[in-house]
């Protein structure tokens, strides 16, 4: 039973580390603020969540009680990361930060229609 648990924990840790690495690479490689914000927000949230779930399972099994710390941290992470990213994106829109062509349609005072909508 312990060997199966160790394999599950190792898989969760590898998934978490992979997502965190991809989010970090996205932070460095993306060309503008909005794209740099998207990569780390999504990927590192999932990566940190997977690592915290692995930690919670490990300490719950070895302490024979539910590890409330990891549960609370995971809950706060999944609630606060998207809210923080949304607030940073709204602030960047109001400050009119430089954007690449692919994200220019996101500006607040843009006179051009959104590329997915059609004017009739």
Residue-level pLDDT at 111: 54
- Estimate to the nearest angstrom the gap between the alpha carbon of 9 and the chain centroid: 21
The string of DSSP codes covering 3-72 is HHHHHHHHHHHHHHHHHHHHHHHHHHH-SSHHHHHHHHHHHHHHHHHHHHHHHHHHHHHHHTS--HHHHH
Q: Give the pLDDT score at 77.
A: 87
The model's pTM is 0.72
pLDDT of residue 13: 96
Which regions in the chain score pLDDT beneath 70? Answer: 1, 102-120
CATH number for 2-106: choose from 1.10.287, 3.40.50, 3.30.70, 2.60.40: 1.10.287
The sign of the dihedral angle between the CA atoms of 69, 62, 2, 14 is: positive
Structural element, H or E, at residue 82: helix 68-95
Q: Given this model, what pLDDT does residue 105 score?
A: 63
pLDDT at residue 119, rounded to an integer: 47
Each domain of the chain, given as residue ranges in start order, spans 2-106
């Amino acid at each position: 039973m312990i060997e199966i648990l160790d394999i599950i924990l190792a898989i969760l840790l590898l998934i978490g580390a992979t997502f965190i690495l991809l989010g970090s690479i996205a932070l460095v490689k993306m060309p503008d603020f909005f794209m740099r914000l998207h990569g780390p927000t999504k990927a590192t949230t999932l990566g940190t969540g997977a690592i915290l779930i692995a930690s919670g399972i490990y300490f719950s099994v070895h302490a024979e009680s539910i590890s409330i710390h990891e549960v609370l941290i995971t809950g706060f992470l999944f609630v606060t990361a998207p809210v923080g990213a949304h607030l940073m994106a709204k602030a960047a829109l109001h400050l009119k930060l430089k954007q690449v062509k692919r994200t220019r349609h996101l500006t607040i005072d843009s006179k051009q229609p959104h590329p997915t909508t059609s004017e009739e």
